Amino acid sequence: MTYDGVLTLLGEFGRYQKWMCFLLCLPSISGALQIIITVFTLAVPDHRCALPGVDNDTWQVQHAHHAHLINVSIPPGTSSPYSKCKNYSPTNGAGASYNGNASSTGAWNGSSSHHGDLFSLGTESCSRYVYDQSLYASTVTTQMNLVCERSLYRSHSQMMVMLGSLMGSQLIGLISDMWGRKIAMMLSIVLHVTSAFALTWARNYVMLMIFNVPLGMSVSGFICSSFVLSMELVGPSKRVWPGYGIMAAWSVGMMLLAPLAYWLRDWSNLQLATAILAAPLLSYWWLIPESPRWLLSKNRVSDAERIVARAARVNKVTLPPGLLEKTHMGMQTASVPLWKACSNVRLFFRHLIIFFAWFVTSTTYYGLSWNVGTLGGSVYVNLALSGAVELVSFVICILLLDRIGRRALCCGLLMIAGVTCTATLLPVLYAPPSLQWVTTVLALTGKLGIAGAFGTIYILSSELLPTVLRNSGMGASSVCARIGGIIAPYIANMAESIEGEAATAIPLVIFGLSSMVAGMLLFFLPETLRRRLPETIQDAIDMGRKSEKGKQLETEFEVTVKS
């Protein structure tokens, strides 16, 4: 008997598996809190240059003389009342004309004729900044002045998280195969909690960059480990549920972050709160079992028997004695290097399309997640809605996945994301301010599409790749997705560095156009619904062909299902 046969006798998705899968979904909530938290910790409030010589300058205008002083010191901005990065160059002795107290009406004598004496017509970059604190008491951006010439540093910070995610997905994957799923998950959780607390005390940019790398490693590490472990605890016909459950938990984390950030307006307090919420995950050492499948692969039959026996008691089923001793892992097909597929033109272009789709889906997903702060309306409401529409998309996927097929569903979702994101350019340029909510609705609809596509592309890819290439192919797809995540913050943050009315829409248009291209390319892939998984490279080549071999693959699957 195979291990999947044991799971069928045990109950493919019994009470024990449901409880374990619930626990394995919870780390994803903490992962979302730490990855999406930069919407608030790296938020950019309204700002301008601090008035030279004025020690207690504020963004809010304190009185008429303060307003006049701002007007003669700061040039007007193109999309804001004041330039965010420039002030007029003060002449020698200009600072002496201020008494250093913006709240004093005597700080400025009120005569506009002195402008020519105190300031030249030229401008210079700010040496200090003042920020609007009505929405955020403090952010990493305001504390470290990551604006203007240093605005790219925000994207660098998010990039380091995703770079860590790339490293973690590869490193933790190796640990998982060598020392077990549980060990890999616990190492990731310890790293996660440690780096989350460490970020609370990051007081300079170097510390921020250093701590972001292990944070990214930990998130990808425990999500990959929990995904694999849940897949190996659940029967073959129910494995779609844990996958979507983990993604749904991520969406719940996004929704939870919104009220948490609304309550805690200081970035370090918010970071500390999310770190505290992650700490209970350390108890998983006593709550989560090792994968029986992995234990059997290492010939640790007695350890696997204890776990399966516990599951049988919870599921209230009786298993034959010595069942696992008669269990084998099924036929093991020797894997081959991914480059072997390049010898066939059909497979070569098929893999290119898959890798591009993963890259675009990841870029667009993370870009839209981080971009909610630039949309109209409340950033807190936008983020909560962003998580809610993801849950809706997963319900749609579950309902349609086995009805219209993986390819059609994934293409449709990518096209929805592409069209709606590209369409945001119209309300941004032509709609009055009272209709700017249309931009938010379109962007959230795009988020619905891309979130569903993210889950569907995983299933489509795994069913297209032959068994001999599945591990290496999915690993390469994951790398492409991580690279997309690395690039995403640079596109998402474009709106902060572009002047003009179209600034808000430009990142969305980039995400939209790339999603439409990916959606159209997916039409060239074969459908995998009700098709037997390809075992060899030749099986993969025959998929989608109107040939006897291709028909035979489908016929064999139908016979297997009926039997």
The pLDDT score that the predictor gives to residue 562 is 40
Distances in Å between the Cα of 301 and the Cα atoms of 12, 229, 322, 327, 437 are 20, 17, 10, 9, 59
Which has more pLDDT, 331 or 410?
A: 410
Q: Which helix (H) or strand (E) holds 479?
A: helix 467-492
Question: Which of the listed residues 132, 158, 193 is the one where a domain comes to its end?
Answer: 132
Q: Which residues contact 179 (CB under 8 A, 6 or more apart)?
A: none
Q: How many domains does the chain have?
A: 3
Q: Are residues 38 and 52 in the same domain?
A: no
Q: Are residues 356 and 368 in the same domain?
A: yes
Q: Which residues contact 417 (CB under 8 A, 6 or more apart)?
A: 364, 445, 446, 447, 448, 449, 450, 453, 511, 512, 515, 519
Parallel/antiparallel/unpaired status of strands 119-125 and 86-90: antiparallel
Q: How confident is the model at residue 401 (pLDDT cuts 50, 70, 90)?
A: confident
Q: Are residues 406 and 461 in the same domain?
A: yes
Half-sphere exposure of 420 (CA within 13 A, CB side): 21
Q: Are residues 402 and 346 in the same domain?
A: yes
Q: Which two tokens stand for residue 298?
A: 């290492």
Q: Are residues 298 and 359 in the same domain?
A: no
Q: Are residues 415 and 326 in the same domain?
A: no
Does residue 124 belong to any structural domain of this protein? yes
Q: How confident is the model at residue 110 (pLDDT cuts 50, 70, 90)?
A: very low
Poorest-pLDDT segment among 82-96, 101-115, 365-379: 101-115
Interval 503-524 mean pLDDT: 92
Q: Give the number of other Cβ atoms within 10 Å of residue 366's Cβ.
A: 28
Q: How confident is the model at residue 102 (pLDDT cuts 50, 70, 90)?
A: low
With contact defined as beta carbons under 8 Å apart, do 210 and 302 qualify? no
Backbone φ/ψ region at 110: left (φ over 0), alpha (ψ -120 to 50), beta = left
Please identify which residue in the block is written with the tokens 């209230």.
316
Question: Which of the listed residues 105, 132, 159 is the one where a domain comes to its end?
Answer: 132
Q: Are residues 391 and 280 in the same domain?
A: no
User: In DSSP terms, which residues pair with 88 in a beta bridge?
Assistant: 123
Q: Are residues 371 and 248 in the same domain?
A: no
Q: Give the number of other Cβ atoms within 10 Å of residue 464's Cβ.
A: 27
CATH number at residue 283: 1.20.1250.20
Q: Are residues 35 and 119 in the same domain?
A: no
Which has more pLDDT, 18 or 542?
A: 18
Q: How confident is the model at residue 339 (pLDDT cuts 50, 70, 90)?
A: low
235 has pLDDT over 70: yes
E strand spans, 66-169: 86-90, 119-125, 129-131
Q: What is the mean pLDDT of the chain?
A: 85
pTM comes to: 0.87
pLDDT digits (tens, 9 = 90+) for 267-280: 999 999 999 999 99
Q: Are residues 363 and 503 in the same domain?
A: yes
250 has pLDDT over 90: yes
Q: How confident is the model at residue 107 (pLDDT cuts 50, 70, 90)?
A: very low
Interval 383-398 mean pLDDT: 94
Question: Which of the listed residues 79, 103, 132 is the one where a domain comes to its end?
Answer: 132
Residue numbers of the domain that contains 253: 1-44+143-332
Nearest alpha carbon to residue 222 among 271, 169, 275: 169
Q: CA triplet 340, 515, 171: central angle to 5 degrees?
A: 50
The pLDDT score that the predictor gives to residue 336 is 58
Q: Are residues 40 and 52 in the same domain?
A: no
Percentage of residues in the chain having pLDDT higher than 70 = 86
Interval 341-353 mean pLDDT: 82
DSSP output for 331-397:
--PPP--GGGGGGSHHHHHHHHHHHHHHHHHHHHHHHHHHGGGGSSS-HHHHHHHHHHHHHHHHHHH
Backbone φ/ψ region at 90: left (φ over 0), alpha (ψ -120 to 50), beta = beta
Give the separation between CA 392 and CA 192, rounded to whole angstroms: 29
